Amino acid sequence: MRWRRAAGGLGVAIALVGLLVYGVGWENVLENVQQAHPATLIAALAAGIGMLALRGLVVKRLLVPIGDGARGVSFVTAFLSGYFARSALPWGRSTGTPITAYLLAANSDSKFEDNLAVVATAEVFNFVASLLVVVLGFAVFATTGGSTEEVFTNVLILGSGGAIVAGALIVAVNRGWAKTLVYEGASRCETLIKKLPRVPADQGILTDRVEGFFTALERIQASRRTLVAAFSIAIVGWIVNALPLYFALLALGVDVSLALVFVCAPLASFGGILPVPGGTGGIEVVLASLLIATAGVSGDVATAAAILYRLTTYWTHLVVGGFGAVYLSVSGTHRVRV
């Protein structure tokens, strides 16, 4: 792993958060954070760790149809190391998927493409689950009264766009369009590589991997019980993921409904499109803006809540994942080094 690039990305991410804090008044934000109730923050931290465990359970459950998958300590350390890469690298949501698949494969007797299918499916499940939690939170929030115009606008724009993307991916896979497109691309890449001088290219190495990937997807789809269990865990995971925000607001003395945080927490993740580790900076800005628009809190309180939420989720996950990566690197029982 390129530690300097990761450290540089984290430095940029922290600078973006610093700009947000400075813009709303760093003294007021700092005062709010210092006055936060410690016991409630511990509850937020526990919920944040629980959310990470549930993310791991989604992957673990989807591994059931795949034979010889990583188990026990090997699975835990490989998953945490992959999640660390996902959190520490720019564009971590895309780069973290193959890295996690590689680590799971290297610490088991399963193939890379099988694990890639598992991790990719888990990412889709978590994404769709976040949209369902948003819809659930909005439905409850709208029926219990209050101003819903801003929430509805965000749900309509972000939720509809996300649903279209997720639906398109599912249809493309089920109808074989994705397989045909990727297989054709891999075949052309093999043809081009063969024309390069002094570059060894095994016949069918890319197309065989593509074939294995989609075969693994078919095996996962054939296990209905596995799909239902994994998707249910993903939904519970996003519900638990909203709890740190709820406890962070309570720690600051802001009493809000659970339905509101079920809307704000998943929608804030769309701020992660910025090419910085964990979407840091973008997520805080989106979350603070949502809280100002829906909860009616001041900018400094909303920013403090966003920072506490991220401390008990993203930064906690980064630390826990880092311990997993260190263990995987120094342990002699594993076949890869991070």
Is 41 in contact with 248 (CB distance < 8 Å)?
Answer: yes
- At 22, the pLDDT band (50, 70, 90 cuts) reads low
Q: Mean pLDDT, to the nearest integer, of 302-331?
A: 91
Q: What pLDDT is recorded for position 181? A: 56
Is residue 152's pLDDT more than 50?
no
CA quadruple 207, 65, 87, 158: dihedral positive or negative? positive
Q: What is the mean pLDDT of residues 18-24?
A: 69
Q: Integer distance in angstroms from the first to the last C-alpha of the chain? A: 6
The per-residue pLDDT for 249 is 94
Q: Look-up: residue for tokens 């065989």?
A: 208
Residue 172: pLDDT band (50, 70, 90) is: very low
Output the pLDDT for position 33: 85
pLDDT band at 289 (very low <50, low <70, confident <90, very high): confident
Residue 158 confidence (pLDDT) above 60: no
- Alpha helices, DSSP H only, in the chain? 3-24, 26-34, 38-62, 72-88, 92-106, 112-143, 149-154, 160-174, 177-195, 205-222, 224-251, 258-268, 282-295, 299-312, 314-330
Provide the pLDDT for residue 145. Answer: 55
Using CB atoms within 10 Å of the CB of residue 89, give its burial: 0 to 12 exposed, 13 to 18 middle, 19+ buried. buried
56: pLDDT strictly greater than 80: yes
Provide the pLDDT for residue 171.
Answer: 46
Instruction: Kindly tell me if the per-residue pLDDT of 174 is higher than 90.
Output: no
In terms of Cα–Cα distance, which of 189, 112, 128, 98 is closest to 181? 189
Separation between Cα atoms, residue 36 and residue 171, nearest integer Å:
46
- List Cα–Cα distances, 9 to 6, 27, 248, 286, 323, in angstroms: 5, 26, 26, 19, 19
Q: Looking at per-residue confidence, does 88 or 181 come out higher?
A: 88
- % of residues, the chain, pLDDT over 90: 30
pLDDT tens column, 210-266: 666 777 788 888 888 999 999 999 999 999 999 999 999 999 999 888 888 998 998
Q: What percent of the chain has pLDDT over 70?
A: 71
Checking if the pLDDT of 334 tops 90, the result is: no
pLDDT band at residue 75, thresholds of 50, 70 and 90? very high
Tell me the residue type at 288. A
Instruction: Using alpha carbons, select from 338, 337, 260 the residue that is nearest to residue 305.
Output: 260
Per-residue confidence (pLDDT) for residue 93, from 0 to 100: 74
Give the model's confidence band at 147: pLDDT under 50 very low, under 70 low, under 90 confident, else very high: very low
Q: Could you say which DSSP state residue 335 is in?
A: S
Average pLDDT, the chain: 78
- The pLDDT score that the predictor gives to residue 208 is 63
Predicted pLDDT of residue 66: 84
